[in-house]
Amino acid sequence: MRLLPVVVTGLLTLAFAYYVYIPLPDAIQEPWKLMMMDAGFRATMHLASLKAWLGFDHYITSIRQSMDGFDGMVKRSESGAGVMPGVKVSDVTFAGVPVRVYEPPAGGEGHLRRGLMYLHGGGWALGSAKKGSHDAINRMLSDELNTVVVSVEYRLYPEVHFPVPYLDCLAAAKHFLSPEVLARYAVDPERVAVAGDSAGGNLAAAVSQEISTDDTMSVKFSVQALIYPVLQALDFNTPSYLQNQYVPILYRTLMVRFWLQYLGADLNLESQFIANNHSSLHHSKITPELRARLDWTVLLSPKHKKSYKPVIVEKGSEGVLKAVPGLLDVRAAPLLAGPEVLAKCPRAYILTCENDVLRDDGLMYARRLQDAGVTVTSEHYEDGFHGCLSFIAWPFEFDVGKRAVRGYFDWLKNNL
């Protein structure tokens, strides 16, 4: 009988190790920390799916509740890293859209400050302008760079679909850029940025394109900072999608699901999207010119193309483009914008990570902006993974996250 507890303990330990362990690229530092974090996230996803299957909350609602607990733990552990006593924080609305405004200590009479609008990530379904690392980083940025930061609490799935999150961000941006609002916050109209990470990088790029081409706007963004942005949904077989499809925390299948949710599409289309059946050659609306705008065989360097081959389907899913028109809408997929639009965009900072399915989206956009005559700083982290910028505090503190935050801050300091 004494042997039974030992056997049970051993089996449980093996089961736990089997669940936690996943092979990771050699470049990733502190792999076990990333594995533990990913295991927690996967467990949260599985539990949320089970609750939804049993008829309880929507699985996204359950995930949000779990993330609220994690954000609270991170906030308590920051030991002042995200607490800036001199920064004034206000929760207000811009054009009816909730925003959090961070104001640094007031300067001298007539002193104008930088301005930055931030759009948080989370697959258009998760995350918040007011919680966790987004809140901490924006407080630090406001204090260190003497910047008025406006973080937008745009509406999320499942409550809304595209284009609502984009329209929320655009409305807030136009309000912020109005001369009277900039004057109210003592922001220099020549020094206003838009920034965002992941899905927020998508929204930042799309809003930047719209503002840049809107002749009614007297003030426009001076720069844009896109942190591992997601920019297209026509090719889920780019080299980075294939190379990193099983690398946490953003698996290829999860990114496809985020896209389907955002565009209000049938989630059963996941396998069709992964196979690129939704962007097959027989779709006449996807013209050769449009395909060239995300042709990674031309837009990527040999280093990132490696030995991968394009996945081009001759004839795929019928009626997908009619059912999911957002696939070709540049407001959802900024990488599809024409060169005449990109040429009007502001200087850009694009952060990419080698171990991220979205790596090639960012690299292709950087190349297309440069080809259109825009000055681009492309910062690439060989040991980076998706979401690393957010992991700067215990218990999931990564050196690459701290370096990424520092690189982002330094670029803004020198370019805004």
Q: Catalytic amino acids? A: 198, 356, 386
| C-alpha neighbours within 13 Å on the C-beta side of residue 51 | 16
Q: Enumerate the H helices of 118-269 as residue ranges.
A: 132-144, 164-177, 179-184, 199-212, 239-243, 252-262
Give the alpha-carbon dihedral of 366, 118, 261, 397, to 10 degrees.
90
Residues facing 376 on adjacent strands? 348
CA distance 68 to 46: 17
Strand 147-152 and strand 376-385: pairing? unpaired
CA distance 207 to 169: 7
Q: Which residues touch 380 (CB under 8 Å, ≥6 apart)?
A: 351, 352, 353, 354, 363
CA distance 197 to 408: 11
Count the neighbouring beta carbons within 10 Å of the beta carbon of residue 55.
6
Q: What angle do CA 375, 342, 173 make, to 5 degrees?
A: 95
